[in-house]
Amino acid sequence: MKNTFLLFLLTILFSCSVPHYPKKYEKQGIFSNDSIQNVVLNNEYKNTLQIQYLGCGNLLIKNQNDVIAIDPFFSNNSGIKTAFGKIKFNQNYFNKGTNFINRFNIDYKDINSIFISHSHYDHLLDLAYLLEKGLVNKNINIYGDNSTRTIVKNFIVNYTFNNADSFVLKNEVNPKWINIKPNMRMLIIPSSHAPHFGKIHLMKGHSDSNYFNNFINSTQKLNANQFKEGNTYAFILDIMQSDTIAFRALIKGAGCEVNNGEVSKEILKEHPIDLAILQIASANFTDCYPQNLLNQIKPKKVILTHWEDFFKPYAPEKIKTVRATNFNYFLSQVRKTNIWSNTDLKDVFYMGKPGTMFNVNY
């Protein structure tokens, strides 16, 4: 199994898809170097939700004074270390990411809840450090599946860890909304993970509890392929105003496979998706993503994430696209939906480098 992992990771690293600066997308107006971007859902907007993209699936979402974090990860490791050696937390990259956060007067202590979409290392490695160092408040709520719990079990002892498997949407008539605040709620919905290369889907299954018994120091070296995916989830975030839904976002930490990761009709009937946050990495290895999902949810705006090369140092000033992902194919699939045939894609799709704050006005 390990050999298969190495072989295909190698294929990814040395594949013909060479990382490059996203110049083409910049020309099209989809990618911008600006560290603040405005996403206007309604020209007569009264409210702003701040969404900071920090790289891979790592997001901070701030509504008034409440902050939620998704998939905390800054510690990019080289492809060679990921495939043949061991990966580890990186203090410099973490500090760099923290500076991006602090620039917008956000502190880790403002975080109310942390959600993990799945348990691959590039979605949760830095969670252990945040917990171990007490950078977040003791009373935060962490939501992750069983595989996530296995990985960080030695770091959550003084915190509230909620098993996402027991909150995930099963019954559309009676969804288990998580009330983060009276005006902010989150629903965990089933999703899936696109293959990493061709039909090859790496690091599937549940993490080995014995291996992570020895994960006791957040800065120690670990095998990337021990971070098994577990269950992959997506999230629906609602901002409420006096019991009505004022804004709704769909947040996906992975591209999905056929008949997976869609939003149920009952949920959409209640309120449509205003904003979709969709990841690009390895989207071209599915036959359905993002077009099936977009056809179903028809979001007003889309923020694209997990698009940069995370096998390079965490250095947004030297940003390159992720290897083995075909961006043109992604956009061609978007165009095929015909949802935006009369609209310039630049008015719908937004892409920023890690650290970018999207002011979502609604």
Q: Which residues of the shown chain bind Zn ion in the complex (CB under 5 A)?
A: 120
Helix/strand/coil for 106: coil
Cα distances (Å, whole numbers) of residue 335 to 66, 290, 324, 330: 36, 11, 21, 9
* 218 versus 282: smaller Cβ distance to Zn ion: 282
Report, in Å, the least distance between residue 118 CB and Zn ion: 6
Where in the chain does DSSP place strands (E)?
31-32, 36-40, 48-53, 59-63, 66-70, 111-115, 141-144, 160-163, 178-181, 184-190, 233-241, 244-252, 275-279, 301-305, 349-352, 357-361
Report, in Å, the least distance between residue 193 CB and Zn ion: 5
Report, in Å, the least distance between residue 267 CB and Zn ion: 24
* 120 versus 323: smaller Cβ distance to Zn ion: 120
Report, in Å, the least distance between residue 355 CB and Zn ion: 21
Under 8 Å between Cβ of 356 and 53: yes
* 56 versus 184: smaller Cβ distance to Zn ion: 56
Under 8 Å between Cβ of 164 and 89: no
Rounded distance, CA 238 to CA 246, Å?
A: 7
Nearest alpha-carbon partner for 282 in 349, 199, 354: 199
* 74 versus 108: smaller Cβ distance to Zn ion: 74
Largest CA distance in the chain: 56
Q: Which helix (H) or strand (E) holds 335?
A: helix 327-336
* 195 versus 313: smaller Cβ distance to Zn ion: 195
Q: Which residue is nearest to Zn ion (CB)?
A: 120
Helix/strand/coil for 152: helix
Report, in Å, the least distance between residue 202 CB and Zn ion: 8
Report, in Å, the least distance between residue 119 CB and Zn ion: 8
Rounded distance, CA 341 to CA 171, Å?
A: 35
* 159 versus 311: smaller Cβ distance to Zn ion: 311
Report, in Å, the least distance between residue 229 CB and Zn ion: 6
* 10 versus 345: smaller Cβ distance to Zn ion: 10
What are the backbone angles phi and psi of residue 68, rounded to the nearest 5°?
A: -120, 150
Report, in Å, the least distance between residue 192 CB and Zn ion: 11
* 62 versus 120: smaller Cβ distance to Zn ion: 120
In degrees, to the nearest 5, what angle opens at C-alpha 351 toward C-alphas 314 and 189? 90
